[in-house]
Structure 1
Amino acid sequence: MKPLALITSCVIGTLSLSAHASTSEDLAQILRFGLPAAAAATSWAKDDSEGLWQFGISFAASSATALALKSSVDAERPDGSSNDSFPSGHATNTFAAASYLQQRYGWEYGVPAYALASWTAVSRVNTDHHRWGDVLAGAALGMAFSYWLVDPYSPVQLTPLIGKDSVMLTGSIRF
């Protein structure tokens, strides 16, 4: 599937869900789960099981780190609703998905995903759920794990095979 068609499908899907969202908080919640789902769906549509696995590991690692920090830092939210402000889980999740898409498939996938992730982060500050430091830390967490654990996608793979009396090179090309 072409990047523009896939991204358009994801944006249309998000917009159709946002028709049911009454506030920017609702839309941020939809994007928190929708953008990672779109990243996983992209790998699935490309029949990229290795990428799907890498996304799962990097997403789980960034989410677990964010949850550990939330419980250990104990920072109060600007609106006073709870003590789990730092880092922003919404920013962690959306930036993990956006950076996965960019790292694995390139900027044509990353730019729209980063735009949606950025909107989510800004909306969390505008609704007084987080401070700028909270969303920047969440974004950094999501991006760091993706850049550390995700390899760029390559449709061409070469594998050396070394036997007792021979050396061979085998390869495959994905269409």
Structure 2
Amino acid sequence: MFHPPQTMNALLRRTACTLMTGVCLVLSTPSHAEANRDQLTLSNWLKFVPAAGAAAYSTYEGDYRGLLQLGTEVVVTVAATQGLKEAFKNGDWGTRPDGGTKSFPSGHTSFACSGAAYLGERYGWQEAAPAYAISAWVAYIRVNEDKHYVRDVVAGCALAWGISKFIVKPYVPAQVSVTPVIGPGQVGLNVSANW
């Protein structure tokens, strides 16, 4: 089946993102021999993948306004997460399943979901799906290794998603159109642009 070049590029990008997600998930699948420390280290690294992928995607698209929105969204999400952690640290919701503090909301999950939420709000759910899969894996590790409750990871992702709704605007590629204007007593060009 023939796809126009623009559709083919989008199909190739989505396929590459999906394959990258699959490789990450397969390589990170825990075995009985792995220590908890290895899974926690993995979650420490995986939380950066969605935001890094979002930055790479925006750079590929030449969407520098989007990069600014991504940076703003990540900073606001991290600040809001830390503020909530401080607010809840002395209560029941601040205690982690392993006895630690600052459980609510999950910082790892909110950071990972900030990249995914940006992709979804800026470019659409197809581009965001692999990033959300990685974010879900980070959330799974954090709950499975007794660092967070389910409520913590859900709240972290919901916080990132909500912040992206206020900061990130849908992407509209720059376009310039030139059309001839021919009419009674006039000949010219109509030039219009959006960016």
Global fold match (TM > 0.5):
yes
Matching residue within 85, 91, 102 for 2:103? 85
Superposition deviation, residue 5 in structure 1: 4.9
Tell me what 2:154 maps to.
136
Superposed counterparts of 1:1-175, under 5 Å: 2=10, 3-8=13-18, 10-11=20-21, 14=24, 23-74=38-89, 75-80=94-99, 82-156=100-174, 170-172=192-194
Structure 1, unaligned stretches of length 5 or more? 159-167
Superposition deviation, residue 57 in structure 1: 0.6
Between stretches 100-109 and 7-16, larger displacement belongs to: 7-16
TM-score by length of 2: 0.73
Instruction: Give the whole-Å Cα distance in 2 for the aligned partners of 1:71 and 1:17.
Output: 34
Q: Would you say the 8 A contact 2:21–2:134 is kept in 1?
A: no
Closer/same/farther in 2, CA of residues 8 and 111 from structure 1, 3 Å limit: closer
Instruction: Give the whole-Å Cα distance in 1 for the aligned partners of 2:141 and 2:81.
Output: 19
Closer/same/farther in 2, CA of residues 10 and 56 from structure 1, 3 Å limit: farther
Instruction: Give the whole-Å Cα distance in 2 for the aligned partners of 1:90 and 1:76.
Output: 16
Alignment deviations for residues 95-151 of structure 1 (CA, whole Å, 9 cap, x no partner) = 111111111111211111111111111221111000111111101111011111111
Closer/same/farther in 2, CA of residues 48 and 60 from structure 1, 3 Å limit: same
Superposition deviation, residue 170 in structure 1: 3.2
Instruction: Give the whole-Å Cα distance in 1 for the aligned partners of 2:67 and 2:27.
Output: 24
Instruction: Give the whole-Å Cα distance in 2 for the aligned partners of 1:157 and 1:146.
Output: 25
Superposition deviation, residue 53 in structure 1: 0.5
Instruction: Give the whole-Å Cα distance in 2 for the aligned partners of 1:29 and 1:107.
Output: 25
Query: What's the RMSD between the two structures over aligned residues?
Result: 2.5
Closer/same/farther in 2, CA of residues 50 and 6 from structure 1, 3 Å limit: farther
Superposition deviation, residue 169 in structure 1: 6.8
Between stretches 113-122 and 8-17, larger displacement belongs to: 8-17
Between stretches 24-33 and 130-139, larger displacement belongs to: 24-33
- Larger Rg belongs to: 2
